[in-house]
């Protein structure tokens, strides 16, 4: 592997770091290919592409290049690859594992200008979008057509469909529609050498060999750069009802959620949160504080359905109220709402958690997958570990309960303690049969821990696949696959 031979370091504009400079001829060629305004070396402009959303991963780039078409992406990659220059693909930069920031002086390839939105094909319920289209922009585009995306995330206004495919994002509707891999039906990518592979037909059935879209989805920018994504969309669920259900234990919340899943076909989301976290959200955003001290856990349930299919809001409300009454012994308090403002207010307790915690300091985030029924045991053991390894740390747990996907957010942990803590908590998740990454990916944060869930044979196979796609290893070196 060629190791950043090209870099000529000069005193950098970022304190303590040295900004690499590209060979003048390469920079000129990049400017020619994407236009001078879109091949940027100005440190002030580059800065917004160099730090991740959490502020924990801060790098420095040789340049930020913003192509406006697949052809330009191909040209940029071909130029960088010929010069042995590593590239970090970047979408909305909302990733939480440091996979989209230039930690080794790479060129940042920002895909945000690829914002094409194609027509919906009524016969398949699919459409093709540019990789830089944000989820929120697609949702706004679909709403007047009576359609909606099958995926949803709190980061919708910045996260791009290309980034979501690259991370195999999950989110708030996995329960009903699966994660990104289940919703991508085709993909267009550019390989490191500039060749374009297009598989955008979206055939419902195709058994003609290896499935390139599913190989690239979840590869975190290490195999190819995604330029277009073909996606399933669905008819809008125009009637929605949300409930916040307080419980005395995580075990009770899990029992209620499982029962609702088994009994209610309109269940769309089941999110778990801690009341202590919600008090912080309420204080920061001027929302009413919820429930009493006897309620450490809050379960958010959403039911949704289509008017055209005969599902009304009244019917959903009645159904939910009936189920809540049936679970009265396990529910300490509740709030139910339907209709625009109420829905937004109840969801805001959940959706404002990441931003509220981020405002309190740098958050160390662990995203784990736990087998069904295992969440209460995991949380209690993880709390013990945090108390032992980093006693001054504050742990906030929330997540997608019925997916067994918990997000552990740690405040007040030093980088030194943090490494030991990550290892112990992730080992715990694996010992229970879970995984070290549920929906955020491995990125740079956890590549050194991949061996906890993947055998040496699997990691060797990952390396072989990577070599086949990207023989010079110029795409996102250091991400996902341990060096």
Ligand X SMILES: Cc1cc2nc3c(=O)[nH]c(=O)nc-3n(C[C@H](O)[C@H](O)[C@H](O)COP(=O)(O)OP(=O)(O)OC[C@H]3O[C@@H](n4cnc5c(N)ncnc54)[C@H](O)[C@@H]3O)c2cc1C
Residue 311 near residue 305 (C-beta atoms within 8 A): yes
Q: Nearest distance from residue 167's CB to ligand X, in Å?
A: 4
Q: Is 91 in the site for ligand X (CB under 6 A)?
A: yes
Among 83, 111, 386, 425, binds ligand X (CB under 6 A): 111
CB 78 within 8 A of CB 194: yes
Residue number, 95 or 202, with CB nearest to ligand X: 95
- Using CB under 6 A as the binding criterion, the count of chain residues that bind ligand X stands at 38
Q: Which residue, 164 or 253, has its beta carbon nearer to ligand X? A: 164
List Cβ neighbours of 91 (8 Å cut-off, separation of 6 or more): 100, 110, 111, 112, 131, 132, 159, 160, 162, 163, 164, 166
CA 90, 94, 95, 98 torsion-angle sign = positive
Q: Which of 163, 194, 218, 305 binds ligand X (CB under 6 A)?
A: 163
Which residue's CB atom is positioned nearest to ligand X?
A: 163
Minimum distance from CB of 109 to ligand X (Å)? 8
**Residue nearer to ligand X on the CB measure, 20 or 92:** 92
Nearest to 251 by CA among 376, 382, 378: 376
Residue whose token pair is 């669905």: 234
- Closest alpha carbon to 384 in 424, 412, 336, 350: 424
Q: Is 351 helix (H, G, I), strand (E, B) or coil?
A: helix
In 184-330, where do the E strands start and end?
184-190, 196-199, 225-235, 239-247, 267-274, 297-305
φ/ψ of residue 481, rounded to 5: -95, 125
Asked if 155 is part of the footprint of ligand X (rule: CB under 6 A), the reply reads: yes
Cα–Cα distances in Å, from 78 out to 60, 324, 387?
A: 22, 59, 50
Q: Does 439 bind ligand X (CB under 6 A)?
A: yes
Q: Is 169 in the site for ligand X (CB under 6 A)?
A: yes
Least distance from C-beta 123 to ligand X, angstroms?
A: 27
Among 92, 102, 105, 337, binds ligand X (CB under 6 A): 92
Per-residue contact flags (x/-) with ligand X for residues 308 to 347, judged by CB under 6 A: ----------------------------------------
Positions in 221-280 near ligand X (CB under 6 A): 221, 225-226
Q: Could you tell me if 137 and 126 are in contact, meaning their C-beta atoms sit under 8 angstroms apart?
A: no
Give the nearer residue to ligand X in terms of CB position, either 157 or 342.
Answer: 157
**62 near ligand X, judged by CB under 6 A:** no
Give me the least distance between CB of 322 and ligand X, in Å please.
29
**Closer to ligand X at the Cβ: 169 or 331?**
169
Which range of residues in 21-29, 55-63, 90-98, 117-125 is near ligand X by CB under 6 A?
90-98
Q: Residue from 70, 81, 90, 295 that binds ligand X (CB under 6 A)?
A: 90
Nearest to 433 by CA among 367, 365, 372: 372
**Phi, psi for 359 (deg, rounded to 5):** -70, -15
- Cβ proximity to ligand X: between 52 and 319 the closer is 52
164 contacts ligand X (rule: CB under 6 A): yes
Instruction: Give yes or no for a contact between 402 and 257, defined as CB atoms under 8 angstroms apart.
Output: yes
Beta strands in 295-346 (DSSP E): 297-305, 331-338
Contacts to ligand X by CB under 6 A: 53, 88-96, 99-100, 111, 131, 153-155, 158-160, 162-164, 166-167, 169-171, 220-221, 225-226, 354, 439-440, 443, 476, 479
């Amino acid at each position: 592997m060629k190791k950043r031979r090209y870099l000529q370091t000069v005193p950098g504009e970022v304190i303590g770091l040295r900004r690499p400079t590209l060979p003048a001829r390469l920079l000129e060629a990049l400017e020619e290919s994407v236009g001078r305004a879109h091949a940027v070396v100005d440190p002030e402009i580059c800065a917004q592409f160099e730090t991740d959303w959490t502020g924990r991963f801060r790098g420095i780039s040789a340049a930020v290049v913003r192509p406006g078409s697949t052809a330009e992406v191909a040209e940029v990659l071909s130029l960088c690859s010929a010069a042995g220059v590593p590239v970090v693909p970047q979408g909305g930069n909302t990733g939480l594992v440091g996979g989209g920031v230039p930690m080794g002086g790479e060129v940042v390839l920002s895909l945000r200008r690829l914002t094409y939105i194609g027509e919906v094909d009524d016969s398949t319920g699919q459409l093709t979008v540019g990789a830089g289209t944000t989820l929120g922009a697609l949702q706004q585009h679909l709403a007047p057509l009576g359609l909606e995306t099958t995926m949803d995330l709190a980061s919708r206004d910045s996260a791009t469909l290309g980034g979501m495919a690259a991370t195999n994002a999950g989110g708030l509707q996995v329960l009903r529609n699966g994660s990104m891999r289940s919703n991508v039906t085709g993909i267009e990518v550019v390989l490191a050498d500039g060749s374009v592979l297009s598989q955008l037909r979206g055939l419902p059935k195709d058994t003609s060999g290896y499935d390139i879209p599913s190989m690239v989805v979840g590869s975190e920018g290490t195999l190819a750069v995604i330029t277009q994504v073909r996606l399933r969309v669905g008819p809008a669920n125009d009637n929605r009802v949300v409930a916040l259900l307080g419980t005395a234990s995580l075990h009770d919340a899990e029992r209620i959620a499982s029962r609702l899943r088994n009994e209610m076909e309109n269940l769309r989301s089941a999110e778990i949160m801690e009341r202590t976290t919600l008090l912080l959200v309420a204080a920061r955003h001027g929302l009413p504080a919820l429930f009493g001290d006897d309620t450490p856990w809050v379960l958010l349930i959403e039911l949704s359905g289509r008017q055209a299919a005969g599902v009304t809001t009244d019917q959903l409300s009645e159904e939910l109220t009936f189920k809540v009454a049936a679970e009265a012994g396990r529910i300490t308090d509740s709030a139910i709402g339907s209709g625009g403002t109420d829905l937004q207010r109840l969801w805001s307790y959940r959706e404002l958690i990441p931003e509220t915690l981020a405002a309190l300091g740098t958050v160390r985030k662990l995203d784990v997958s736990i087998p069904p029924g295992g969440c209460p045991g995991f949380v209690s053991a993880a709390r013990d570990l945090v108390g032992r390894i980093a006693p001054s740390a504050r742990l906030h747990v929330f997540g997608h309960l019925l997916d067994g996907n918990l997000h552990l957010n740690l405040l007040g942990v030093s980088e030194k303690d943090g490494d030991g803590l990550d290892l112990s908590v992730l080992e715990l998740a694996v010992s229970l049969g879970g995984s070290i990454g549920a929906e955020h990916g491995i990125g740079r944060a956890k590549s050194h821990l991949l061996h906890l869930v993947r055998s040496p044979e699997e990691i060797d196979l990952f390396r072989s696949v990577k070599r086949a796609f990207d023989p010079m290893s110029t795409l996102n070196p250091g991400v996902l696959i341990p060096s």
